[in-house]
Every structure is written in structure tokens, then in C-alpha cells.
Amino acid sequence: MTSKGVSMKEMLPTLPDENIDMLAATSVLQQQATEIRTQRVNWQSYLQSQMITQEDFSFISAFDNFDAANREVLLREKRSQCAKTFLNLLEHVSKDQTIQYVLVMIDDMLQEDRSRVEIFREYSLKKREPVCGQFLNLLNGSDPFIVNMTARIIAKIACWGSQPMESSDLQFYLSWLKDQLKIHNNDYMQSVARCLQMMLRIDDYRCAFIAVDGISTLLSVLSGRVNFQVQYQLIFCIWVLTFNPRLAERMNKFSVIPILADILSDSVKEKVTRIILAVFRNLIEKPEESAIAKEHCIAMVQSKVLKQLSILEQRKFDDEDIVEDVQFLNEKLQASVQDLSSFDEYATEVKSGRLEWSPVHRSAPFWRENASRLNEKNYELLKILIHLLETSRDPLVLSVASFDIGEYVRHYPRGKHVIEQLGGKQLVMQLLSHEDPNVRYEALLAVQKLMVHNWEYLGRQLEKEQNTAKGGSTLTGKA
């Protein structure tokens, strides 16, 4: 991804796309394009059947047979005719094989010299039509090669042109890319990711991608099973997004840190490790608010990133970026551990949505000192706990969230009223019939705290319930 000795971070603004290891040469699209180049088209037959004009025939037959130097001369002399002929062919030719060949020709032409995207822009201005209009229409086709090669061309026009893509076209295109990511076993996933990697290096396009809920889709795909090449490409997209300070500040609201920490712990590919560390570094360096950078550090600590860093320190890496990022992250995370208050730790855990029986939950002093702090920021943490009760399928998360709500009610005088107002009481009561005995037990404990004020009586009742539950199964976290 980087040339030897040059930092990835330094290269981002000017790095040519083809040097970013964005697309494996073995991708399905590239393999098919290589094959399609060998299948020459009989342009004469199209002329004889009057499917193309003499003007278009003269240009395309010359362009198709010229070498690179002669093509350059032809394009200088007939710029407008070039765009006109290619767009006419895409509009009037119906045979998929010929459309495929034309698209490969266009893509190769742009690849030879990226400034040639202006050929289409100049022609569209003359015609007063959107530059990508005709290409965007092809995205609705049924031939997967045509659709994905078109998407690749659109990305080049959008990224290499002198003017940004029009907002309505941009929204349509980014939504299309996002939807392609969701397709199960999409053979063209690398090509889709490649387009996104190009687009998201432009800041205006990053903001538009957020607007179509793109980050959630990226993380949803990364949470599933994808090969390391796609994994790398999608994490690259996240890395590029984090160069925008505002986006870096919002990123962990999508649980990016725990998801990438899981991938880091499983990763055996150096380039995947490198790009995850680069994301983590940006999440600390780029936010303008130090409190958010600190929150990200705590989230990394809670996601066991320190443990992974210590493992990485034992490995030998030729890549200087990895060595430098491991050292940077280690220093920052170690410092955050020393500054960490128990409430900071608790708040970050709740925001991550990955609740577990960490010591803070069982600490009576913690709840005596901090129960009222769950009211801060318009009950932010309480609302998250209640949301987890409603949406989580993880018995451990449901158990811990129920316990915490009970402790809040127990230690905050108006807690019962607040939980009822936020809709938490009903959700806890629904868990009384949950299939998992641990969830049922913690829900019962919480309900009793909501209902009973005689704590001595409650203690005796809970002891009975706990003994009953232990008789049926071993309770998670009660050892």
C-alpha cells in the first residue's frame, strides 16, 4: 500500500489510486476485462446495418486499431467526436458483448490518462446534460460486467474531473454502491469496494456517503465473513473517512472500534493489521475535541486492543508504519488507563453496547457515587441501556443491562420514576419470560428493585431465587 519508507499518512493527498493496492489484479472484473479485450468487434457490420453513423464508424474503427501514441493524436484532434461516438454506441447498440467491449475501451482510455475524463465533461456541457447521466442509466442493467465496469468509469469521472459530481447523481451512485455491498456473495465485491475507495478520498463525497448511512453498511459487512482483500478495502474506506475530523469524532457511535478490534485479533494479513492500526491512530489524532479522543482510547482499552498491541510488539515487521503506529497507540492507551475513572470506563462500555460482568457493575461504592450521573446528557446512558434491552439478542448483554437498571433504581431516589418514563420497566418485565435463566434472574432482581422498597425482605427473596436458579443451571458471571 505504500512505497518503501514513505508513510501512508503522508501520501494520502497525492497518492495515485493505482499505487494504493486498491484492486487485486485477479478480481472478477479485471479477469473478464482481459478476456473481453481479445474479442474484437466488427464495426463494419454495424455501419452496414445502419446502427451507427459513418462519423462514429470512422472514429471507433480508427481508435480501436491505433496504438497508444496514435490514439493520443486522434483524441487531441477529435475530442468532441470521441465522447459523442462512445455515448452513441452505448445508447444505440443493444448487444451486451459489444457494450462490454466499448466500456473496456473507455476505461482503458481513462486509465492511460486521467485528464481524459474532461472529454466527457466538455461534451456534456455542450449538450447541457449531466456528465454521468448516460452511465448512471447503465447501472440499472442486468449484465453484471456492464453494470460494474460502468460503476468503475463513473468513479473515475467523479474523482478525476475538474468539477465534483452533481449532488442528486452522487446520492444515487453512492446509494447504489452501498446496496451492492449488501448483496450476499457478490462476485464483484472487490470492484464495488474499489469504487468506494476512490470516491471517499474526496471530502464532499465522504459527507454524502454518511448521509446515505454508508458507515453502518461498511461495518455490517465487516462484521460478517468476507475475504481479507475485501476486508482490507472496506477498512481502507473507513480509514479515509477518519481524515475528516467531524467524521472521526462520530465514528465510534457506529461501534467501529470493537468491530475492528475483533478483526485485528483474528487477522493474519499484515496489510489488514496495518490499515486497522492506521484507523485507530486517526481516531485519536483527528478529533478536535480531546474528550472524544480520550473516549476512543478507553473504547480501545475495553476492546482489548492493548493485548493485541503487546502481541504485535513481539512480531517483526518490515513496514515502518506498523512499528510506529503500535508504539503510538501503546503510549496513548497506557496513558488513558492511568487517567481512567471507573465512570469513564463504565460509560464507554455502555456506549459500545458490549456489556459484560466487568468489576464496575458489581461495585456498590460505584453505584453509590455514580448512579445520579446516569442522568447526564438527557439520560444518555440510561437510554442506551433501555435500547439494549429492546434490541439485543445476547443473554449476557440483557443480563448486565437489567442488573444496571436495577442498581440505578436502588441508588437514585427518583430512579423508579425515570425508568418508567423512559419505558424501561415494561422491557425489564418482558424479560421475566426470557428463555435464558440468567436473563430471567437478572430481570427478576431488577423488577423487584423497581417494585419493592423493603430491601431486607428483598434480600431474602433474592437469595431464594438465586438458589432456585443455581439448581437449574450455573449462572453466567456468578462464579
* Closest listed residue to residue 250, CA positions, set 224, 193, 304, 289: 289
Query: How far apart are the C-alpha atoms of 275 and 322, rounded to whole Å?
Result: 9
416, 460 contact by CB (below 8 A):
no
Contacting residues for 423 by C-beta, under 8 A, at least 6 apart: 386
The three cell numbers of residue 395 are 443473554
Q: What is the pTM of this model?
A: 0.74
Closest CA to 147 of 191, 205, 208: 191
pLDDT attached to residue 246? 93
Q: Which domains does the chain have, with CATH numbers?
A: 358-472 (1.25.40.150)
Predicted confidence at residue 468, as pLDDT, reads 65
Q: Residue 361 in 3-state DSSP? A: helix
CA distance 341 to 339: 6
The reported pLDDT for the residue numbered 175 is: 96
Residue 212 identity (one-letter amino acid) = V
What pLDDT score does 477 carry? Answer: 41
- Helices within 66-95 (DSSP H only): 68-77, 79-92
Rounded Cα gap, residues 44 and 374, in angstroms = 76
Give the three cell numbers for residue 44: 463494419
Q: What span, in angstroms and rounded, lies between the C-alpha atoms of 363 and 407?
A: 10
pLDDT for position 341: 75
Residue with cell 424501561: 424
**pLDDT score for 469:** 63
What is the residue-level pLDDT of the chain in tens, covering all 479 positions?
A: 333 333 444 345 444 444 444 444 558 999 999 999 998 899 999 998 888 899 999 999 999 988 889 889 999 889 889 999 999 999 889 899 999 999 999 999 999 999 999 999 988 888 787 778 889 999 999 999 999 999 999 999 999 988 899 999 999 999 999 999 999 889 999 999 999 999 999 999 999 999 999 999 999 999 988 889 999 999 999 999 999 999 999 998 888 999 999 999 998 899 999 999 999 999 999 999 998 998 899 889 888 899 999 999 988 888 888 999 999 999 999 888 777 778 888 888 898 888 989 888 988 889 999 999 999 999 999 999 999 999 999 999 999 999 999 999 999 989 999 999 999 999 999 999 999 999 999 999 999 998 865 444 455 556 666 666 665 544 444 33
For residue 304, is it left (φ>0), alpha (ψ between -120 and 50) or beta?
left
**AA letter at 367:** W
* Residue 88 to residue 86: CA distance in whole angstroms: 5
Torsion from C-alpha of 48, 50, 53, 56, nearest 10 degrees: -60
Beta-carbon count within 10 A of 416 CB: 18
Q: Alpha-carbon distance 322 to 311, whole Å?
A: 13
pLDDT at residue 184, rounded to an integer: 87
C-alpha cell at 157: 469521472
pLDDT at 6: 36
If one counts every other C-beta atom within 10 angstroms of the C-beta of residue 188, the result is 22
Q: How far is CA 290 from the centre of its chain?
A: 24
CB 263 within 8 A of CB 222: yes
Q: Which residue's entry shows cell 470516491? A: 199
